[in-house]
Amino acid sequence: MINIFEVAETNEMIEKENLDVRTITLGISLLDCIDADLKLLNEKIYHKIYNAAKDLVSTGEYISDEYGIPIVNKRISVTPVALIGGAACKTPEDFVSIANTLDKVAHEVGVNFIGGYSALVSKGMTAADEMLIRSIPKALSVTERVCSSVNVGSTKTGIDMDAVKLMGEVIRETAEATKEQDSLGCAKLVVFCNAPDDNPFMAGAFHGITEADKIINVGVSGPGVVKTALEKVRGENFEVLCETIKKTAFKVTRVGQLVAKEASKRLDVPFGIVDLSLAPTPAIGDSVADILCEIGLEQVGAPGTTAALALLNDQVKKGGVMASSYVGGLSGAFIPVSEDKGMIDAVAAGALTLEKLEAMTCVCSVGLDMIAIPGDTKATTISGIIADEMAIGMVNQKTTAVRLIPVIGKGVGETVEFGGLLGYAPIMPVNSFSCDAFVGRGGRIPAPIHSFKN
Amino acid sequence: MKKTIITVVGKDTVGIIARVCTYLAENQINILDISQTIVQDYFNMMMIVDTNQTDKDFGIIVRELEQVGESIGVIIKCQKEEIFNQMHRI
């Protein structure tokens, strides 16, 4: 039987070390809503989502009460809207009407984000894909809870450089369209390589076409728990260090598995996956950067950072895999800058640069995440940064992503405040040499040689 | 039978167990086991209880026990047993 010390340990994790379930994300397929009539399409989308998700928030709260574990977010992901709207939408404005429908239903069922305003264009763009992408700046400026993502590359297909070029422009336009809110729209827009179909985390969540009609995916979070566990093994060797991370990750993931199974039962929706990512928040003691420091770095960005992050990421997976019957999504340590107090401090101290962050993304999920850059950064420069990150994902057969925020009207040395879980960030300098001619070539980068496995 | 774990943490004082037990008795919640210890000068109690007989919604019990705790200056939590089993048993 459970003893008092085990109970105390669990409750300590919840109360003092910020253990929580970061999100229950309900994936909903909209494929059966497709219609050539835009009005009818919007109505079908509204009703399908409303009916599927009306009990999501109350169920999450009930489970939270039963187990005494906070469930921070309840979210929805839907089939990439470029596929759903292709038949009905003739202009980017038509796509914006779908974004409005998604925003409305998100408000009504009470979820804080809805993801899937997306296009999958890793090899090429259809007319509908391009229209959706061009509608993103408007869609993100007139809605509050809609999140958008565009997959522009994969190991199997290579990188669609036309889409990469376009996304550089779209990110700038989104920043301009939301400049009154410090370009907040860009915080809800992710560019992916190898995007997973079952990611529960925003802003990159969408319900892939390989998925069932509805599915429950859960993301856990416990950087504070890992950090506290590591405090007890200071000075020990790597074997002890790795074992400690693994055991802690197991415990954290088990909570996610329990919540996922319970939500699945109560909502009568199949359980999909638990995402093993260590997701930080700007709260003190909920930082991935602090774990890296506990491993032995003075600041994140110091030599050794990439190795420390690689071992952390690997051990989290090793511990988590056994704790859940299905693991998926992004599953790795997140290193968003604005959402992690330790990362923010490292940037402010001059220890962490964009280039070091890029190196770190080679060994963890997800990529250059929540990084504020000067508002006057050129679109082609943003495209160049995207291309670099996509190449890392393509060659290493992993998911990578870019979520950059060119903050209009602000420059290096200034700080931008997004609020809530999105946090705040010092604006980081960007290499100012041009890549115009590279980005301007057009076409595709072919798939790498090791993708030909058949 | 699904078991529930009630934990009480706080500064030791007269009548903590009495207050909690009174609430449980009033709500037809049967106590299966009690253990207690002092950790870092704090009173730490764990009860394993059976909530099958009560008519009250679990969420209401959670909040009412929280209020009982507030009135005597301790923190009372009430959680289904599975979270602990999941975390500490393979």
- Distance between B54 CA and the closest CA of chain A, angstroms: 15
Question: Which candidate, A142, A191, A152, places its Cα nearest to that of A171?
Answer: A191
E strand or H helix at A128: helix A127-142
Please report, as a single letter, which amino acid is at residue B8: V
Q: What is the pLDDT, as a whole number, of residue A276?
A: 86
Q: What is the pLDDT, as a whole number, of residue A368?
A: 93
User: Nearest Cβ partner of B80 from A61, A67, A254?
Assistant: A67
Please report, as a single letter, which amino acid is at residue A309: L
Q: What is the pLDDT, as a whole number, of residue A281?
A: 87
Q: What is the pLDDT, as a whole number, of residue B90?
A: 85
Q: What are the two backbone dihedrals, phi and then psi, of residue A244, each rounded to the nearest 5 degrees?
A: -65, -45
d(CA A352, CA A425): 13
Q: What is the pLDDT, as a whole number, of residue B38?
A: 82
Query: Which ranges of chain B does DSSP label H, i.e. alpha helix?
Result: 16-26, 58-72, 82-88
Q: How many CA atoms are closer than 13 Å to the CA of A113, on its beta-carbon side?
A: 26
Cα dihedral value B8, B13, B18, B20, nearest 10: -30
- The answer to whether A265 contacts chain B (CB < 8 Å) is no
User: Nearest Cβ partner of A6 from B39, B82, B88?
Assistant: B88
Q: Which domains does chain A have, with CATH numbers?
A: 18-193 (3.20.70.20), 220-441 (3.20.70.20)
Q: Is the pLDDT of residue A348 over 90?
A: yes
Please report, as a single letter, which amino acid is at residue B68: V
| Cβ–Cβ gap A251/B88 under 8 Å | yes
pTM (two decimals): 0.93
Q: Is the pLDDT of residue B75 over 90?
A: yes
> For residue A278, what is the DSSP state?
B
Q: What is the pLDDT, as a whole number, of residue A320?
A: 92
User: Nearest Cβ partner of A2 from B58, B77, B88?
Assistant: B88
Cβ atoms B87, B79 nearer than 8 A = no
What confidence category does residue B1 fall into, taking pLDDT thresholds of 50, 70 and 90? low
| Cβ–Cβ gap A4/B86 under 8 Å | no
Q: Is the pLDDT of residue A250 over 70?
A: yes
Q: Which residues of A touch B48 (CB under 8 A)?
A: 1-2
- Distance between A414 CA and the closest CA of chain B, angstroms: 43
| Cβ–Cβ gap A6/B5 under 8 Å | no
Q: What is the pLDDT, as a whole number, of residue A175?
A: 97
User: Nearest Cβ partner of B46 from A7, A61, A254?
Assistant: A7
d(CA A38, CA A18): 44
Question: Closest chain A residue to B81 measured between Cα atoms?
Answer: A67
| Among A26-40, A297-311, A359-373, the least confident range | A359-373
CA distances in angstroms from A81 to A28, A29, A104, listed in the order given: 12, 10, 15
- Distance between A16 CA and the closest CA of chain B, angstroms: 14
- The answer to whether A225 contacts chain B (CB < 8 Å) is no
Q: Which residues of A touch B58 (CB under 8 A)?
A: 62, 65-66
| Cβ–Cβ gap B87/A255 under 8 Å | yes
Residue linked to tokens 């069922």: A109
List the beta bridge partners of residue A426: A415
Cβ atoms A45, A116 nearer than 8 A = no
d(CA B76, CA A80): 45
| Cβ–Cβ gap A255/B86 under 8 Å | yes
- Distance between A283 CA and the closest CA of chain B, angstroms: 23
* Percent of chain A residues topping a pLDDT of 70: 100
- Distance between B42 CA and the closest CA of chain A, angstroms: 12
- The answer to whether A412 contacts chain B (CB < 8 Å) is no
Q: Is the pLDDT of residue A285 over 90?
A: no
Question: Which candidate, B61, B79, B77, places its Cα nearest to that of B69?
Answer: B77
Q: Which residues of B touch A2 (CB under 8 A)?
A: 5, 48, 81, 84-85, 88
Q: What is the arithmetic mean of pLDDT over A139-152? A: 97
Other C-beta atoms closer than 10 Å to the C-beta of A442 total 8
d(CA A374, CA A145): 25
E strand or H helix at B9: strand B3-10
In the stretch 33-52 of chain B, residues with CB closer than 8 A to chain A read 33, 35-37, 39, 44, 46, 48
Please report, as a single letter, which amino acid is at residue A328: G
Please report, as a single letter, which amino acid is at residue A94: D
Question: Which candidate, A79, A327, A324, A329, places its Cα nearest to that of A199?
Answer: A329
**In the CATH scheme, what architecture does the domain B3-88 have?**
2-Layer Sandwich (3.30)
Q: Is the pLDDT of residue A284 over 90?
A: no
Residues 6 or more apart whose Cβ sits within 8 Å of residue A213: A28, A29, A32
What confidence category does residue A66 fall into, taking pLDDT thresholds of 50, 70 and 90? very high
E strand or H helix at A11: helix A4-16
Q: Is the pLDDT of residue B34 over 80?
A: yes
Kindly report the average pLDDT of chain A as a whole number.
Answer: 94
| Cβ–Cβ gap B5/A2 under 8 Å | yes
Do strands B3-10 and B42-50 pair parallel, antiparallel, or not at all (unpaired)?
antiparallel
- The answer to whether A65 contacts chain B (CB < 8 Å) is yes
What confidence category does residue B39 fall into, taking pLDDT thresholds of 50, 70 and 90? confident
Q: How far is Cα of residue B14 from the mean position of the Cα atoms in its chain? A: 17
What confidence category does residue A356 fall into, taking pLDDT thresholds of 50, 70 and 90? very high
d(CA B28, CA B55): 8
User: Nearest Cβ partner of B77 from A4, A11, A258?
Assistant: A11
Do strands A20-28 and B3-10 pair parallel, antiparallel, or not at all (unpaired)?
unpaired
List the beta bridge partners of residue A403: A369
Cβ atoms B46, B7 nearer than 8 A = yes
Task: Please write the tens of the pLDDT for every residue from A81-101.
Answer: 999 999 999 999 999 999 999
The interface pTM score, or ipTM, of the predicted complex is 0.89
What the block records as the tokens of B42 is 């704090």
